[in-house]
Amino acid sequence: AQSVAQPEDQVNVAEGNPLTVKCTYSVSGNPYLFWYVQYPNRGLQFLLKYITGDNLVKGSYGFEAEFNKSQTSFHLKKPSALVSDSALYFCAVRAGRTSYDKVIFGPGTSLSVIP
């Protein structure tokens, strides 16, 4: 069965410092991988995705993520954190490439950027 793990419930980082939010997954085949962000009392917003090709994916708001197939990881990164980046971040995986393949989410990581 496919699964997604986000090993840190909470990540704290000082404003201006680089940030990393970790994600590992367990699926067979070649998955699609996604990161979403959720601000308080809002729905989830798409940040970036890995489909194929270059292992470093760039997305919205200066975020990027590195796909590592051997470690089955897809960590979210940003070179310089902003206070406005404080939010809940979800990693998600879609195991297959057919219309029936479901998207499974990790438990989420709460990011706090400290001024």
Partner 1 sequence: NAGVTQTPKFQVLKTGQSMTLQCAQDMNHEYMSWYRQDPGMGLRLIHYSVGAGITDQGEVPNGYNVSRSTTEDFPLRLLSAAPSQTSVYFCASRPRDDAGELFFGEGSRLTVL
Nearer to partner 1, 28 or 99 (CB): 99
73: β partners: 24, 68
Nearer to partner 1, 28 or 98 (CB): 98
Smallest distance from partner 1 to CB 82, Å: 22
Smallest distance from partner 1 to CB 106, Å: 5
Nearer to partner 1, 10 or 115 (CB): 10
- Write phi, then psi, for 53 (nearest 5 degrees): 90, -135
- Write phi, then psi, for 61 (nearest 5 degrees): 60, 25
Residue 96 identity (one-letter amino acid) = G
Residue numbers at the binding site for partner 1 (CB under 8 A)? 4, 6, 9, 32, 34, 36, 41-46, 49, 51, 90, 92, 97-100, 102-108
Smallest distance from partner 1 to CB 92, Å: 8
Q: Are 6 and 96 in contact (CB under 8 A)?
A: no
Q: What is the dihedral of CA 62, 33, 51, 2, to 10 degrees?
A: 170
